[in-house]
Chain A
Amino acid sequence: MIALSDYLILSAIVFCIGLAGIFINRTNIIMLLMCVELILAAVNTNFIAFSYYGNDVAGQIFVFFILTVAAAEVAIGLAILTLMYRNRGSIDVDVTNSLKG
């Protein structure tokens, strides 16, 4: 028997790994985007676990919309990344400091 808390702990661990990944790979934008994807997967697991144990399908509908928004976010994020690489020749976050006062 697997309790709801087991699923919550699992997704909490993955969430924290993704969060730590954002700090560790702060300079590489591709890695930042992938860490955000990991965090979203963890959060979606939470939603689905609550949906299953609460016997309510609305949680799965919400995950459906999260997947849609995340796909749109990745498409635009990678487009911006390509543009940035074309203009600067690097995707290092530290290079993008033209707005720095």
Chain B
Amino acid sequence: MEFTSVLFYVFGFCFVASAALMVSSRNTMKAAMLLILSFFSAASIWLLLEAEFLAVTLILVYVGAVMVLFLFVIKMLDVDQSTLRAKFTKYLPLGIVVAAIVIAQMALVLSAGQFGLDVVAEPARHAADYSNITELANVLYTAYVYPFELAAVLLLIAIIAAITLVHRKGSRSKKQDVSEQVNVQAKDRMRIVSIPSGKRKESK
């Protein structure tokens, strides 16, 4: 057994196991942590497939940004776990049935022998000075430059949409109104009240 095969089975086992544990976990925080583990395993598998740039991107963008966002929301919302827990087993049979059907369908497709080593041979590994990033950039900035720009615009739209959705108007912002400050009168700021002095209590 080759060393890369061993690596594949180790990372694949981690991927599947963490995914299964995440799905069956009732604690959302624990599930997020297990999802991070499964992303790391997926990135390792992508490294075996010589997609170094995407593997690093998956860890930087997904673990570094997206999952941190998830953890923020989980901690901020303080979800009531008890009501969610009660309904956990309600849909379990349905989920298992659907997953079994999909697994059966995919097994029928994959077991037809179209993707074995005798049909699709493993390509030769690239040399040590091969740069995946250069390879990607050569295509990304020439043939795919238009979708690339569109992706940038899409991210901008996502930023604006997310901010406008959760932005609260008025009550929280403390901005100054210059005209109101200039036109202020003394009586707006200070009110003189005449209070009659009370009778002093004599002490014995």
Contact = CB atoms under 8 A, between A and B. Distances in A.
Contacts of A28: 28, 79, 84
A24 to B, nearest CB: 4
B10 interface: no
Nearest to A40: B62
Interface residues of A, number: 72
A17 B155 CA distance: 29
A57 B62 CA distance: 22
Nearest to B121: A53
Contact of A23 (B48, B83, B91, B123): B91
A92 B84 contact: yes
The DSSP consensus for interface residues of chain A is helix
Interface in A4-56: 4-10, 12-28, 30-31, 33-35, 37-38, 41, 44-45, 48-49, 51-55
B83 A61 contact: no
B139 interface: yes
A30 B155 CA distance: 21
Given A5-B116, A49-B49, A41 B38 contact: yes
Given A24-B23, A27-B84, A64-B57, A71 B99 contact: no
Interface of B: 2, 4-5, 8, 12, 15-16, 19-20, 22-24, 28, 31-32, 35, 38-39, 42, 45-46, 48-51, 53-54, 57-58, 61-62, 65-66, 69-70, 73-74, 76-77, 79-80, 83-84, 87-88, 91-92, 94-96, 98-99, 102-103, 106-107, 110, 115-117, 120, 122-123, 132, 135-136, 139-140, 144, 147, 151, 154-155, 157-159, 161-162, 165-166
Interface of A: 1-10, 12-28, 30-31, 33-35, 37-38, 41, 44-45, 48-49, 51-55, 57-58, 60-61, 63-65, 67-76, 78-83, 85, 90-92, 94
